[in-house]
Structure 1
Amino acid sequence: MSKITFTSREIKELQKNPNVQRVSERSITYSDSFKNRFMDEYLAGKLPRQIFTENGFDINVIGLKRIEQSAHRWKKAYEKNGLIGLTDSRKTSSGRPIKRELTPAEVIERQKARIKLLEGQVELLKKLEVTERRLLNERENLVPSKVYQLIFETVEQNQFKRMTKYFCDLLGVSRSGYYSYLKASTSREAREQLDLEAKEVILKAFNRRGYKKGSRSIKMILENEYNLIFSRKKIQRIMKKYGIVCPHRRPNPYKKIAKSTKEHRVVPNKLNREFKQGVPGKVLLTDITYLPYNGNSMAYLSTIKDASTNELLAYHVSDRITLDIATKTIHKLMNNKKISLTRLLHL
């Protein structure tokens, strides 16, 4: 104990500090919350004198020796008993041993205080056990920055401020890396703001014309229409970060059927690309055109054209691209009495 004594004025000033539990002429008792905060900041690399100063203590009043003694005592208790070691043992201990027998009321009072402390310690340990399981479950497949964020949220929400080192060891990350992560919060927030701005621009290109696009199309749209130069890697990073997904085109089931039935097998090349033979109705061409409308809707136009005259002989429109769209077009052509066909070739 330091030999420095406090005057009545200094005692009144110390009593105003929320980190002081009680104070007398020769001793001072600090609150458990301050001891917990002290250990957390001390393990983070701060000096004891700096911590006391930042928490409203005058070094000239309490003395540097008293600070060093408190730091040594709390560090030793923390290393020995961890969380529980920082609790003020004088709440339940009887202080100096007394020679007289305790009265029944005193025995009951002391047992109640001891039971209350033990119940609090058990609840704290249960809470810590649940937190450990949750951290280990959420730790899987996380990058270090996400692990640091997980530790920070756990410490803040559950008031485990003195358990930082323990959580870092539990999840296999360095404590120095964790505190570097906290110090870089300002620059990280600035980068997050820039990413949010880039996200808004990318979403405009992503949803342009009513259908979703990939990173290549987004890059070209940003350059040509918004005069913005984004690298494709940045676009991919932003899309991955915010879950912007371009769906893959589903395979056409009719192509699979055609392949399995050999419907589109190779046939003899009778035309040899000589489409215009000067005879109307001899060579016919057919195709299906996609017609988008109303934003996300799609119509399909099937046509048959005379290769010699470029005249449309028959057509059919459908909202589904099935085999019927082709057969109905052929039926319309055959039912048109005004059209005479010279010869139908396999095209």
Structure 2
Amino acid sequence: MPKYNNPRKTWEYSKEFKVRAVKMSYQPDLQSKQVAEGLGIHPFMLSRWRKEYREGLLQGDGKKQVGLSKKRKVKTPKQMSENVQLKKEIERLKKENDLFKKVATVSGGSSSERFGFIHRYKKEFAIAALCRWLGVSRSGYYAWADREPSQRERSDQTLLKDITQVFDKSSGRYGSPRVHKTLARQGVQVSRKRVARLMRDNGLKARVTLVTRRQPGLKRFKNRGENKLLQFGGTIACDQIWVADVTYIKLSHQWTYLATIMDRHSRRILGWSLSHTRTTELTLAALNYAIRKGRHTEGVILHTDRGVEFTASDFQSALSKAGIEHSVNRPGYCTDNAYMESFYHSLKGELIRNQLFNGIDHLRREMGRYINQFYNRVRLHSGIEYYSPIEYERMAA
């Protein structure tokens, strides 16, 4: 068996804590389950403490044996005052219990880690109590707090400035993977985990969010069409597979619709269109945008969902004229078009969420800047080895 020099300690609740929890559970206006949830302990644990208290095994308050009942009695002024104090105490104990769980994560760590924990929570709890819980001396903590920053700490501060500069330059859109890749391109040699730690400790969190997207009703799906990508496999060059989709964007109190077309190989957005209505004209505008770029279209497979804006005769005629083959999702398999879903996730997290737009024209301008100037030209894409789409196309040419 391996020998553990610093095994993790399991926190043990004090008798005072147990007795107070038991007394709270016997209050007529409190249920045992509520007390357990408030203190962050399992109801079975509280039930065991109550049994030990009744049998005299738990004597934190000096009692040997008690016979408590849940029957309602007229409370004396003294009892009412005690109940008010107990209700206040439950909040304090809950806060302490939450801290105890955090203490367990650093109790087996180095002295420096424990001193750092004390430094973070010294405004909430007494330093003496924190030192006692973590098994360190107060003099040791004060000596640690007064010493000069170590070389590692000074290095972290210098690195944090570089990280913050990259983070701000991306308007808060880059998380630790893209910040790490950007620093590597600038010649800064640092591990990804260190970048993630510094960003986490300093509240640098990328603008991401869960995307809410309304799906067309299954009854509107048509039986015609097939998913041609199942037999095609992966891409080895640009202009082999394009993918397209439409998403909803809430603008004030009105929905707007964004249609986009992407080259699946390079992840470049080839065409997009924004409108107040979700019609065939919307998707046709995005398709014509892509075709006008002069890219090779003969034999390209365009994969979409089964929405009527893609299966309409006008849209199908435009595809045939350009020599583009149409592929559609399997019924009930929205993940067949995961590449576009991934783009919309990034778009809404990095541009739309928590932003105010003064009408659709303002949104269209910002959309153009994001897609044409940032996403296609600058943004590092994890799916193409952290290159931008245009840069990746240039390398693949």
TM-score tier by shorter-chain length is 0.3 to 0.5
TM-score under structure 1 length normalisation? 0.35
Which has the greater radius of gyration? 1
Structure having the higher helix fraction is: 1
TM-score under structure 2 length normalisation? 0.31
RCO greater where, 1 or 2, for CA within 8 Å and sep 6 or more? 2
